[in-house]
Amino acid sequence: CQPPRHFTQAGRDHASDAPSMRLRVRSGDGKGITSPTGRSNRVIQWFPRSTIVMAIFVGMYVGWAAFTIRHYRAVTSIEATKTPIHIKDAKEPVENKSVGSGGEGGKREAECVSWTLKLKGHKYTHEWGEVSYDGLKSDEFATITVIAGAKDDPREGKCNAFNFDQALLVTKTGYLAAILSCSNQEIDIVEKSYTRRDCKGSIDKKKIGGITGPFTADQKGPNDCTHLFDCGTCVMHGSADTDAKKSLNGLDPHTKCVWCPKSSECRPYQDSSGQFPCDACIGNGDGYPGGDTCPAAEDEKYLTFAWNNGRVNNNMVSWAAAMAMGKHLDRVVVITQPIMKYSNGKGIHSGDPNFGKSAFLGILEGMWDLEYLRDNGFKIALETALPEEIMKKASYDTPARCRIGGNSFPKKEKYEDCSMVFMSNPFKFKSLKAQRPKEFIRPAKWLRDASEDIIKKKLGVLDKIEVSVHQRHHNWGHKKEHGSKFLCRGKLKNIFDSIIGKEYRDAVNKWTHNEEEKHRMLAFTQLSCAINWDEATRVLKYWKKEFPKRFFMASDREEKDRFEDMVNHGAVVIEKKDYEHLPQILEAYSRHKKLSFNCKNRYCAPRKKFDQLTGVYLDMWGMTMGKWFMGGYYSTMSDTICFWRGWNRMNDSNICFLPTRLENKWVRPGIDVAWGPPMIDYTTRE
């Protein structure tokens, strides 16, 4: 009768720690038996050999019986009292109960348990502070958020009323464990315990489609690929990624995540090893058996849109509106490479030859942080990652019934039978609801890091930058026709009576009823366009501010004398020599060439275009760093910077509190700010 395996192993472990024992017994002839070492030891008189053998077996049997009794009592006591077993105390492995057929090759299935989890919100904790969940001992848990009102939202969009998404507690395999608060706070799992339960019966569980929630600035990526529940999110991650949120913690630096379509699982893969974890796996790059394109979900619906004929920040307006519409209609927004022609709603026509050049932002080439958009609840996909049958429907000749015109948000039901919806002119959507996504559309991490590094070298500690300035000239006007060569100061864009100036007039009317003060506020707002040093000083003086000896400035440099005037008075700027060495610029250009678009139909950018965009994005991110931001009137770039700087800093600017994006009805809950102009005494202004 063999003793249990763990008993003999324990004995073996003890023996390995004990001193070496030598045995010498006296045989019948009275001669000593030499020890295994060959040494001659003192002769010891022992009992007969049969007695020794019997004693050994009796001792082993008694020890095994005692161990088994103690173990059985411990297990039955736990089962009887249902005492929670805390993770830190659960050291002794317990034989698993089989479930179903027991798995392949007679393998035992995971043990069934009832979990109790205690959670704590950073702002508040409600009834979900303690959660019960019937699952498996192997379960791991995470708090995520899903788009409010989307198919995976069990509360069906209740958090939409507060402009937040829905927070959930899920297992790493994607099953819903509990419904938590809205996404206006972080929620921590502070304690976990479980009790064993009977595995009989089935439990109805809801599968959650994927991690979409916002991350804090210092939060890193998942611990392993199994935490990622959908193909698109899965293939974006790898331990060698420079973005902390896309990295895999604690894994080999060459580990990537790949998607296994048959089992709908995300699994780790050692890059370039050829040892794929499943057949037809999908990965990000070349050489994967299943390619680099995620399969289209059967019930997924898409939205694409027309780019704008302006430059970067005019296209930011269009892009933001498309993301807002995608969220409103619960659709995946498809990012396309700009075309070389434009559409007027009735078909494709030859247009401005600079159209593609103007609309090109380097999105497909990795110059933007698309994962940040996904993390904050927006669905987005690149046209290069979608199947051909999907992209065939994303043309400019989309049926009229599947096109969105005007500037209002239609009802979702209107487009239920359209797998692809097309926004013909998203630039018209200027409301706060349409432009709010701008705060989540930001440059890639390598660009943000480069901007901060360059400015830190030039100005020192980043948090001591008192003022950042945007100098925008708009110098394509005509003095005879417009009254000024600076278009933003001429009659066409005049803040006092033009259509362009109306949103500023409406905003100022909300904060003061004093007509003289209204005029002064509008006059100094318009003066912030095309500034020289004297005008910039007057604007800051109006807002009770002064220029420090050195400050950061981004400029279009269209007026050399005005640009040099600012530099001579302390403006620090980013030069091409500061960033032209960055390897990521060449990487983006190389990625662009590999896309292999037909250059007659799609814009094909030269290398210098990537240098130019890099300079623009470094400037834009740099302007977010000043404690006080001096933006320019009639500038979509200044408008973008206001969103990037955040809602809590909107009053630290001459421009950020003005546009209609700050309508009171769109105030985000939980943010303690005074809505209106900076709280200073208007009557003492010079």
Higher pLDDT, 538 or 139: 538
| pLDDT given for residue 679 in this prediction | 33
| pLDDT given for residue 354 in this prediction | 53
Instruction: Output the pTM of the full model.
Output: 0.60
pLDDT at residue 682 is higher than 50:
no
Please enumerate, as own/partner, the contacts of 538-545 that have beta carbons within 8 Å and a separation of 24 or more.
539/630, 539/654, 540/467, 540/630, 540/654, 541/686, 542/654, 542/685, 542/686, 543/654, 543/678, 543/680, 544/678, 544/680, 544/685, 545/467, 545/628
pLDDT at residue 32 is higher than 60:
no
435: Cβ–Cβ under 8 A, 6 or more apart, which residues? 317, 320, 321, 324, 429, 639, 643, 661
Average pLDDT over residues 438-452: 93
| pLDDT given for residue 177 in this prediction | 87
- Whether the CB-CB separation of 297 and 210 falls below 8 Å is answered with no
pLDDT at residue 644 is higher than 50:
yes
Q: What is the mean pLDDT of the chain?
A: 74
Name which of 537, 541, 535, 572 is nearest 554 in CA terms.
572
Strand, helix or coil for residue 684: helix
Higher pLDDT, 47 or 578: 578
pLDDT at residue 500 is higher than 90:
no
Which of 37-51, 425-439, 517-531 shows the lowest per-residue confidence on average (mean pLDDT)?
Answer: 37-51
Which of 213-222, 313-322, 347-356, 548-557 shows the lowest per-residue confidence on average (mean pLDDT)?
Answer: 213-222
pLDDT at residue 159 is higher than 50:
yes
Beta bridge partners of 468: 552, 629
Average pLDDT over residues 521-541: 93
Name which of 134, 278, 106 is nearest 195 in CA terms.
134
pLDDT at residue 566 is higher than 70:
yes
Higher pLDDT, 133 or 227: 133
Cα–Cα distance measured from residue 184 to residue 166, given in angstroms and rounded to the nearest whole number: 9
Average pLDDT over residues 636-648: 88
∠ Cα 324 621 655 (to 5°): 70
465: Cβ–Cβ under 8 A, 6 or more apart, which residues? 455, 459, 551, 552, 625, 626, 627
**Confidence tier at 290 by pLDDT (50, 70, 90):** confident
**Confidence tier at 56 by pLDDT (50, 70, 90):** low
Average pLDDT over residues 47-72: 55
| pLDDT given for residue 424 in this prediction | 85
Cα–Cα distance measured from residue 149 to residue 131, given in angstroms and rounded to the nearest whole number: 23
pLDDT at residue 470 is higher than 80:
yes
Average pLDDT over residues 658-667: 44
Which of 40-49, 392-401, 465-474 shows the lowest per-residue confidence on average (mean pLDDT)?
Answer: 40-49
| pLDDT given for residue 262 in this prediction | 79
DSSP, res 484: S
Cα–Cα distance measured from residue 358 to residue 636, given in angstroms and rounded to the nearest whole number: 14
pLDDT at residue 153 is higher than 50:
yes
| pLDDT given for residue 407 in this prediction | 85
Helices and strands, counts by H and E, the chain: 17, 20
Domain boundaries, the chain: 5-70, 110-270, 302-436, 445-684
Cα–Cα distance measured from residue 305 to residue 333, given in angstroms and rounded to the nearest whole number: 8
Which of 202-216, 277-291, 531-545 shows the lowest per-residue confidence on average (mean pLDDT)?
Answer: 202-216
pLDDT at residue 255 is higher than 50:
yes
| pLDDT given for residue 572 in this prediction | 96
Q: What is the 3-state secondary structure (H, E, C) of 61-130?
A: HHHHHHHHHHHHHHHHHHHHHCCCEEHHHCCCCCCCCCCCCCCHHHCCCCCEEEEEEEEEECCCCCHHHE
pLDDT at residue 380 is higher than 80:
yes
| pLDDT given for residue 51 in this prediction | 57
Radius of gyration from C-alpha coordinates of the chain: 34
Angle between helices 445-459 and 607-622 (to 10 degrees): 60
**Confidence tier at 351 by pLDDT (50, 70, 90):** very low
